[in-house]
Chains A and B, each alone.
Chain A
Amino acid sequence: MLKDITLGQYFPGTTLAHRLDPRTKILAVVCYIVAIFNCHSAWAYGLMVLTLVVSARVSKVSAKALLRGLKPVLFIIAFTAVLNLFYTPGTTLWRWGVLNVTHEGVVMAASMIARIALLITGTFLLTYTTSPIQLTDGLENLMGPLKRLHAPVHELAMMMSIALRFIPTLIEETDKIMSAQKARGADFESGGLVQRAKALIPLLVPLFISAFRRADELATAMECRCYHGGEGRTKLHVLHYQTRDYAVLAFYLALAVGVIVLD
């Protein structure tokens, strides 16, 4: 059910990966993604997988948990792979009617699968080991210079952290409303596309109403706790880079540069 979705879920812990500065982890993931998209040879992909496996080990995140994160995007991965498989021009390996599988297509499809899978699992590793609050703190801090251009950095960070805070609550609520409507005989699983879309009304209307009510109450509660925007705010946790952060950053930077230059 919906509860099994792990999108953006945080597993608390005290590993090295958990203790790293969130900014380090965000930048590391950025480096990693840059590296992924500059991979061409098998050894480079191998290196990427190895990096991921080691990072997952260090964070004590199980392979199962990582792979479960891929479930919701399986369709997109399969779709992209199939497109690449049949529509990449090159030396034909196999042909059946209009379907034409080329050598280049196979390579392209395989690398697409690898790229998307690595991209997703890499990002998930970040959210598994970094609490949403740290994540937004990190982002707010990294984006800090934009404040000078009057970009609403604090507001965006606050919105994001509240959104993240309410994801589990709203998932639970969706589950509850769905069950309640099913108990009245609602059918979310069968019928054509139009029928299915229509079947969602009894779910979406209450969900929206409830989300608005929550937003309203939360806003009042925040004001009661003296929230008045980002001005003059202090922090419980102030971010400090430490030696380990520099080490990790250096490694990922080297990885990205290495792949770009050598591969």
Chain B
Amino acid sequence: MEDIIQVENLTHTYGIGTPFERSAVKNMSLSVRRGELLGLIGHTGSGKSTLIQHLNGLLKPTSGRVLLDGRDIWAEPKKIRDVRFRVGLVFQYPEYQLFEETVYKDISFGPKNKGLTGDALDRRVRESARFAGLDEDKLGKSPFALSGGQKRRVAIAGVIAMEPEVLVLDEPGAGLDPRGREELLEHIRAYHTERGNTVVLVSHSMEEVARYADRIVVLSHGSTLMSGTPREVFARGSELTRAGLDVPQATRIAMELRKRGMDVDPAVYTVEELRDALLAMRKGGAR
């Protein structure tokens, strides 16, 4: 698979020349492949929020480059706005950015800025509302009359409506209860499969990333710690815990079982996998 985004030796330093100077991202390199659902994981302070704001040109690298389709996004600084339509970024707690009188108008904000009008605009608004799991009858309502979870869907629809080639979501499930979280992520997965678009899912929940991502990049202290399929990454479970990251509970159980002398595959990361592994072992042992 070819790369749609390449980050090369990216460094970003905040507050240069003040007592608060600090590099949030240090010489970081990674790539996002076209059409994949990439999980980006790291604890608070790992630099993930800083990184993703470079992907659509909201932040400018202190040094290093970000390539979109092989072209440096800062090659023509005047056209940086175009990059923002191509790489859609949904911030953490995005419901706090809603401002329009109706849900419909709020979702239209992005595509309108892109220059869309009339039927094309209408189609996109309705389609993206559907992708985000919003019912038609919500479109005419005030976004402020909706529940927290629904507001968040409006905000996500507002970015999907720009039809970005890459959709980046920062902690889309944060603060939602288990059901709300699962429903939202299922919608994102459906969007990914139906559209075949690239999605970058930023999370600090290993369970979440393990369940949805094709590939995982782990960030730690401003640089890339490791990357690979979920299986490859969770096989290095003890390294992850040392870096202060949680591994999925299923992986933790497997790690504990290995400590107790059972020969379980350390790379399992879902309950179902671990169950199957254990049942297979039992069969093997009983035979």
Q: Which residues on A are within 8 Å of B, measured CB to CB?
A: 3-4, 11, 64-65, 173, 176-177, 179-187, 201-202, 205-206, 209-210
B162 touches A176 (CB 8 A): no
CA distance A95 to B109 in the complex (A): 53
When distances are taken between beta carbons in the complex, the residues of chain A under 8 Å from B217 are: none
B53 touches A179 (CB 8 A): yes
A202 touches B109 (CB 8 A): yes
A184 touches B158 (CB 8 A): yes
**Binary contact track B162-190/A, C-beta < 8 Å → 1, others 0:** 10000000000000000000000000000
**Binary contact track B43-67/A, C-beta < 8 Å → 1, others 0:** 0000000000100101000000000
Question: Which residues of chain B from 116 to 140 have any CB-CB distance to chain A below 8 Å in the complex?
Answer: none
When distances are taken between beta carbons in the complex, the residues of chain B under 8 Å from A177 are: 96-97
When distances are taken between beta carbons in the complex, the residues of chain A under 8 Å from B91 are: 176, 179-180, 183
When distances are taken between beta carbons in the complex, the residues of chain B under 8 Å from A201 are: 99
Q: A3-B14, A187-B81 are in contact. Are A182 and B99 (CB under 8 A)?
A: no
CA distance A202 to B113 in the complex (A): 12
Interface range, B side: 20 to 34
B99 touches A3 (CB 8 A): no
B96 touches A206 (CB 8 A): yes
A210 touches B96 (CB 8 A): yes
Residue in A11, A185, A206, A210 whose CB lies within 8 Å of B114:
A185
CA distance A187 to B115 in the complex (A): 13
Q: A3-B14, A205-B99 are in contact. Are A183 and B113 (CB under 8 A)?
A: no
Q: Chain B: which residue is nearest A13 at the CB level?
A: B19
The answer to whether B284 has its CB under 8 Å from any CB of chain A is: no
Q: Chain A: which residue is nearest B20 at the CB level?
A: A3
Q: Which residues on B are within 8 Å of A, measured CB to CB?
A: 14-15, 17-19, 53, 56, 58, 81, 84-85, 88-91, 94, 96-99, 109-110, 113-114, 144, 158-159, 162
CA distance A3 to B14 in the complex (A): 9
CA distance A11 to B18 in the complex (A): 10
CA distance A201 to B109 in the complex (A): 12
CA distance A257 to B111 in the complex (A): 65
When distances are taken between beta carbons in the complex, the residues of chain B under 8 Å from A64 are: 17
| 7 shortest interchain CB distances as A-B pairs | A185-B113, A205-B99, A184-B110, A180-B97, A183-B89, A180-B91, A202-B99
A65 touches B18 (CB 8 A): yes
B113 touches A206 (CB 8 A): no
Residue in B15, B17, B81, B94 whose CB lies within 8 Å of A180:
B94
When distances are taken between beta carbons in the complex, the residues of chain B under 8 Å from A4 are: 15, 18
When distances are taken between beta carbons in the complex, the residues of chain B under 8 Å from A179 are: 53, 58, 91
Q: A64-B17, A65-B18 are in contact. Are A185 and B99 (CB under 8 A)?
A: no
CA distance A176 to B84 in the complex (A): 15
Q: How far is the CB of A198 from chain B (nearest CB, A)?
A: 12
When distances are taken between beta carbons in the complex, the residues of chain A under 8 Å from B97 are: 177, 180-181, 202, 206
CA distance A99 to B56 in the complex (A): 49
Most buried by B among A64, A173, A185, A187: A185
Q: Chain A: which residue is nearest B15 at the CB level?
A: A3
A184 touches B144 (CB 8 A): no
